[in-house]
Structure 1
Amino acid sequence: GIVSTASLIVGVASAAQGASDIIVAGVAGLVAGAMSMAAGEYVSVSSQSDTEQADLVRERMELETQPEFEREELAQIYVQRGLSPELAAQVADQLMAKDALEAHARDELGLSETTTARPVQAALTSAATFSAGAAMPLLAAVLAPAGTQVWVTSIASLVFLAVLGAIGAWAGGANVLRATWRVTFWGALAMAITAGIGGLVGQAV
């Protein structure tokens, strides 16, 4: 959200457009980006959900047609995790007696309630996070004095990227300086290229 919207604003501003055109471009970029992210995420996670449902249907049929084979398959999974064959067989028997499909979904397919694909939730989350990021450079462009949108938006966006990169690296236990430098460098490169192209197009038009 930060990089794409900041690059769009910088590109339009480099083409010597008016302040209102820059803001309109930024708002359009925010809305279009959020909708694009939401649609893409919805389609992607929906495909994942369809695959999960197909796996569950197939597993349910196998449990109905070959329960003993499925029991042995589940027991072998527990043996591979370190249980003795005897204990693994007991665990498989007890779990399948309670809910065979749930046991196979969790331990064979890797599916659970917490990891189940949720397309709508994923789409809304993606749109919201993109919008939050895009709002930062857009706000900088709105507050920037006339004629300074390129520099103000670029500097503010790089600061935002550096802070978020540092926070993300710290939260994940990664090298903070390396992560901050990486996200800042690529953000600056994206904005520089867009500004250059915007300037060339502005001169040509």
Structure 2
Amino acid sequence: MTLTTRTSSAAAQQSLPQRLNRLRAGVLGANDGIVSTAGLVFGVAGATTDSGAVLVAGLAGMVAGALSMAGGEYVSVSSQRDSEVAALREQERELSSDPAGKLRQLADHYAARGLAPALADEVATELSRHDALDAHAEVFLNLDADDQVSPWAAARASLVSFITGSAIPLVALVASPVAVRLPLTVVAVLVALLATGLISARLGGARVVPAVIRNLVVGSLAMGLTYLVGSLVGQHL
């Protein structure tokens, strides 16, 4: 199977690690949307009580942030994919020009890992007979030849997750009565950040409590500092 055929088939069936990576990117995108939009609307709210101004600023921040996140993710993942494809094509060329040498290289790898030379030769031969490119890609590139990253999937995940996260502080601030909208928005944002911190920690296998605390501290600082800046600027307008 050639690399072009593999790329087409991989697009139709993504592996579990790929799906987990997209989910993790989505959670981080939502977290970024929550924090950045909360900071933006709190800064505007510190300068004015005009709900219209807060809404316009929040919507502008949501759109700009979502497009920036999606574009940045697309460019970043495209670069990663290009590097992976180039490395796989190099392996493919080497396999085509020197199959015996590549087989020897694979056998030497397994022998160096502790297999008896005869067994290493047998393993390398069987793996190469089944799928030589995949065998070499896994060992020497730490890649799955059938499973390259998708820039469009990453961009979509970032776009949707950022908008979803942004909507939480924006809706909470605009829909709440003026007298209580700031405390209600703080509560909504902190609950959302608690959830994203918990999910990201679970996905990454990290400790939950430190991850959640970091999330809450960063979100609180973003809201507090931007509100302070907005208040100071608003006093001189």
State TM-score, norm by structure 1. Answer: 0.89
Partner of 1:112: 144
Match of 2:95 among 46, 63, 69: 63
Residues 129-168 of structure 1: matches in 2 within 5 Å?
129-168=161-200
State TM-score, norm by structure 2. Answer: 0.78
Q: Deviations over 1:145-201 (max 9, x none)?
A: 125433322232112212332344355554333222221011111111111111222
Per mean C-alpha deviation after superposition, the further-off stretch among 181-190 and 168-177 is 168-177
Partner of 2:116: 84
Partner of 1:123: 155
Letter in 2 for 1:155: V
| Number of residues of Structure 1 aligned to a counterpart in Structure 2 | 205
Aligned-partner Cα distance in 2 for 1:40–1:16: 32
Deviation at 1:18? 0.9
Q: Percent identity?
A: 46
Letter in 2 for 1:62: E
Kindly indicate whether the alpha-carbon contact (under 8 Å) linking 2:137 and 2:145 is maintained by their aligned counterparts in 1. Answer: no
Aligned-partner Cα distance in 2 for 1:28–1:94: 58
Q: Secondary structure at the match of 2:235?
A: helix
Match of 2:215 among 178, 183, 204: 183
Letter in 1 for 2:70: A
CA RMSD of aligned residues (A): 2.0
In structure 2, stretches of 5+ residues that fail to align are 1-32
Deviation at 1:120? 0.4
In structure 1, stretches of 5+ residues that fail to align are none
Q: Secondary structure at the match of 1:83?
A: coil
Aligned-partner Cα distance in 1 for 2:232–2:138: 56
Letter in 2 for 1:9: V
Partner of 1:101: 133
Letter in 1 for 2:169: P
Partner of 2:53: 21
Q: Secondary structure at the match of 1:108?
A: helix
Q: Deviations over 1:87-116 (max 9, x none)?
A: 121121122223322221222212226741
Match of 1:33 among 65, 70, 80: 65
